[in-house]
């Protein structure tokens, strides 16, 4: 871990940690919840992709909102920079320090506080692991309206701070809709209680939204109230093979028309993406090889009705020649195996070597258009592939190489951002901006909007201690 890892970014004028600071933290949290051992700090300094790293020498593990408040007040008074961290599964380098920022890790803030079985509103601390919440809701015949491949590690607070999208946004909407309330702590330690558990509340500005998707730059999320829909009684998954992207679009239109109210997910996987998991992770595809695959899922309340609909949909897609091969299932093991193919692509691609990762929203017609263009541009790639949330217009375009190559980077960027901007797409559809993308947000945000972001940051965190070097260009 070297101090000049990012020569283009200069450490700002924050305090360097001293014994007095550490003494304060130890007094507040106890010795065990202040980590200063180099080896133990290591994991908190490196992101999931192992592509960015800092050299923090202090990890703080608060358990309560009050502790978070006191930590931030002290850090603000003493100009100590802080990097909030949840499950550290973020993909844009936002969750790890850039230099020696103190890491405020939420993993011990994992209490589930209440669940109202009438309204479905679950209130919990921000460090709850998503999968634990999913299991808790499931046991009560409810579900969390968010699911993603990182569920076993990511925290609900991290999800909220990144406004994570995930695999069923198409059906359950994004977190700006399903999160009813947030409690967060401002940089100066003030606790902002917006934990209304009401579906409707127009009393003034909707402040909770400031914390949803602001990636730890405006406050630390400490508590969450989230609306859980009833668990579906009937689930079906189809895995389809298609010959062309035009067929994919026609199939998407059919799925919306014929599956309508029960459609819960509509994902696209191209052949090189599937190959990343079948060849590297030894997972098996249930059908033979096609240029495109679609994973379509339904959530409904009547098994016979939903199964009939799914079969009707598949039959019509096959008789129209859109789907060349396909399988549908409602067996739990088989559905899980199909989802595993989709959810493991991120991991599978890492086995190629170096991954250039892009997370882009484009108009649906253009969803895949960038992939063949990129394949033409980067001829030496191990793989250029695209997959993702077709139903939401969000593609994950990836270019893999055996190892990082500066020349290839210049072939991809800024071309990819210019292409996206021309189509009025988004250069970060769901993963956020973090440390990797601040210099690209102007491709998707107007100067006025960026200026307002800067003004908000100055107002809420005047000393800039919260997740510095991230998000704001």
Residues 6+ apart with CB under 8 A from 274: 285, 293, 341, 345
Of the candidates 167, 166, 172, 162, the one whose C-alpha atom is nearest the C-alpha of residue 142 is 172
Q: Are 53 and 3 in contact (CB under 8 A)?
A: no
Q: By CB under 6 A, what part of segment 221-280 binds ligand FAD? A: 221
Nearer to ligand FAD, 92 or 322 (CB): 92
Q: With CB cut-offs between 5 and 8 Å by kind, which of ligand FAD, ligand 2HG, none does residue 265 bind?
A: none
Structural contact between residues 294 and 240, judged by C-beta atoms closer than 8 angstroms: yes
Token pair of 414, please? 């800024």
C-alpha separations of 171 from 146, 260, 288, 308 in Å: 10, 10, 29, 20
Size of the site for ligand 2HG (CB under 6 A): 8
DSSP state of 397: E
Alpha-carbon span 22 to 36, nearest angstrom: 9
Question: Which of ligand FAD, ligand 2HG, none interacts with 158 (beta carbon under 5 to 8 A by kind)?
Answer: ligand FAD
Stretch that binds ligand FAD, among 1-9, 26-34, 88-96, 112-120 (CB under 6 A): 88-96
**Cα dist from 104 to 93, 108, 240, 285, 288, whole Å:** 15, 11, 44, 41, 47
Integer Cα distance of 273 and 287 in angstroms:
15
Which of 415, 413, 420 minimizes the C-alpha distance to 393? 420
CA geometry: angle at 260 spanning 258 and 263, to 5°? Answer: 105
> Binding to ligand FAD by residue 391, rule CB under 6 A?
no
Contact 414, 427 (CB under 8 A): no
Query: Does residue 54 interact with ligand FAD by CB under 6 A?
Result: no
Least separation, in Å, of the C-beta of 194 and ligand FAD?
14
Q: In the complex, what is the shortest distance from the CB of residue 165 to ligand 2HG, in angstroms, rounded to a whole number?
A: 7
Q: Smallest distance from the beta carbon of 303 to ligand FAD, in angstroms? A: 27
User: What H or E segment, with its residue span, contains residue 192?
Assistant: strand 191-194
Q: Using CB under 6 A, count the residues that bind ligand FAD.
A: 37
Q: Which residues pair with 193 in a beta bridge?
A: 183
- What count of other Cβ atoms lies within 10 Å of the Cβ of residue 447? 8
**Does 396 sit near ligand 2HG (CB under 6 A)?**
yes
Q: Pick what 89 binds: ligand FAD, ligand 2HG, none; C-beta below 5 to 8 Å, kind-dependent.
A: ligand FAD
Identify the residue whose tokens are 């490196």: 46
Tell me which of 215, 270, 359, 461 binds ligand 2HG, using CB under 6 A.
359
Chosen from ligand FAD, ligand 2HG, none, partner binding at 396 (C-beta under 5 to 8 Å by type): ligand 2HG
CB of 343 to ligand 2HG, least distance (A): 6
Q: Does 85 bind ligand FAD (CB under 6 A)?
A: yes
Residue closer to ligand 2HG, measured from CB, 388 or 391? 388
Query: Cβ-closest residue to ligand FAD?
Result: 158
**Toward ligand 2HG, which CB reaches closer, 249 or 269?**
269
Residue 87 interacting entry, from ligand FAD, ligand 2HG, none, C-beta within 5 to 8 Å by type? ligand FAD
In angstroms, what CA-CA distances link 25 with 17, 21, 66, 126, 340? Answer: 11, 6, 13, 21, 42
* Cβ neighbours of residue 102 closer than 8 Å, sequence gap 6 or more: 17, 56, 58, 59, 60, 75, 80, 81, 82, 83
Query: Does residue 217 bind ligand 2HG (CB under 6 A)?
Result: no
Sole window of 30-38, 349-357, 405-413, 428-436 interacting with ligand FAD (rule: CB under 6 A): 428-436
393 is a contact residue toward ligand FAD (CB under 6 A): no
Going residue by residue from 78 to 97, which x/- string records binding to ligand 2HG, judged by CB under 6 A? -------------x------
What string marks each residue from 125 to 164 as x (binds ligand FAD by CB under 6 A) or -? -x---------------------xxx---xx-xxx-xx-x
- Work out how close the CB of 438 gets to ligand FAD at its nearest, in angstroms, rounded to a whole number: 12
Does position 346 interact with ligand FAD (CB under 6 A)? The reply is yes
Pairing of strands 325-329, 354-361: unpaired
**396 makes contact with ligand FAD (CB under 6 A):** no
Among 76, 174, 398, 467, interactor with ligand FAD by CB under 6 A: 467
Under 8 Å CB-to-CB from 260, ≥6 apart: which residues? none
CA nearest neighbour of 301 among 334, 264, 326: 264
- Residue 388 interacts with ligand 2HG (CB under 6 A): yes or no: yes
| Region from 212-220, 240-248, 259-267, 324-332 binding ligand FAD, contact rule CB under 6 A | 212-220
Residues that bind ligand FAD (CB under 6 A): 48, 83-91, 94-95, 106, 126, 148-150, 154-155, 157-159, 161-162, 164-167, 215-216, 220-221, 346, 430-431, 434, 467
Residues that bind ligand 2HG (CB under 6 A): 91, 149, 346, 357, 359, 388, 396, 430
């Amino acid at each position: 871990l070297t101090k000049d890892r990012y020569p283009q970014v200069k450490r700002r004028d924050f305090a360097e940690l001293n014994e007095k600071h550490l003494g304060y933290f130890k007094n507040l949290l106890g010795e065990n919840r202040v980590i200063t051992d180099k080896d133990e700090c290591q994991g908190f300094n490196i992101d999931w992709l192992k592509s960015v790293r800092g050299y923090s020498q202090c990890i703080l593990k608060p358990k309560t909102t009050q502790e978070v408040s006191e930590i931030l007040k002290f850090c603000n008074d003493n100009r100590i920079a802080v990097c909030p961290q949840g499950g550290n599964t973020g993909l844009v380098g936002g969750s790890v320090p850039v230099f020696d920022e103190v890491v405020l890790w939420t993993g011990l803030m994992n209490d589930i506080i209440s669940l109202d079985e009438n309204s479905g509103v679950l209130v919990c601390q921000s460090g709850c692991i998503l999968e634990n919440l999913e299991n808790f809701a499931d046991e009560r015949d409810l579900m969390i309206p968010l699911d993603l491949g990182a569920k076993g590690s990511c925290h609900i607070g991290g999800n909220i701070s990144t406004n994570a999208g995930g695999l069923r946004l198409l059906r359950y909407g994004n977190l700006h809709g399903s999160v009813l309330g947030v409690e967060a702590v401002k940089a100066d330690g003030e606790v902002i209680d917006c934990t209304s558990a009401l579906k409707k509340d127009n009393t003034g500005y909707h402040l909770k939204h400031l914390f949803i998707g602001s990636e730890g730059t405006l406050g630390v999320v400490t508590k969450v109230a989230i609306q859980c829909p009833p668990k579906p009684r009937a689930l079906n998954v189809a895995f389809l093979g298609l010959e062309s992207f035009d067929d994919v679009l026609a199939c998407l239109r059919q799925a919306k028309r014929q599956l309508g109210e029960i459609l819960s997910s509509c994902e696209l996987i191209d052949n090189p993406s599937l190959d990343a998991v079948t060849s590297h992770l030894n997972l098996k595809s249930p059908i033979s090889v096609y240029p495109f695959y679609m994973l379509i899922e339904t959530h409904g309340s009547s098994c016979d009705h939903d199964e009939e609909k799914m079969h009707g949909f598949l039959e019509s897609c096959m008789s129209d020649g859109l789907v060349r091969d396909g399988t549908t299932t409602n067996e739990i093991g088989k559905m899980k195996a199909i989802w595993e193919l989709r959810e493991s692509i991120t991991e599978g691609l890492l086995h190629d070597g170096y991954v250039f990762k892009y997370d882009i929203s484009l108009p649906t017609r253009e969803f895949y258009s960038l992939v063949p263009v990129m394949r033409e541009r980067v001829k030496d790639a191990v793989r250029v592939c695209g997959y993702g949330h077709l139903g939401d217009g969000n593609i994950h375009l990836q270019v893999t190489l055996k190892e990082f190559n500066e020349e290839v980077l210049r072939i991809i960027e800024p071309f990819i951002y210019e292409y996206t901007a021309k189509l009025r797409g988004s250069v970060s559809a769901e993963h956020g901006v973090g440390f990797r993308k601040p210099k690209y947000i102007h491709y998707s945000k107007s100067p006025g909007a960026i200026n307002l972001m800067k003004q908000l940051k100055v107002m809420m965190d005047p000393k800039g201690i919260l997740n510095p070097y991230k998000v704001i260009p």
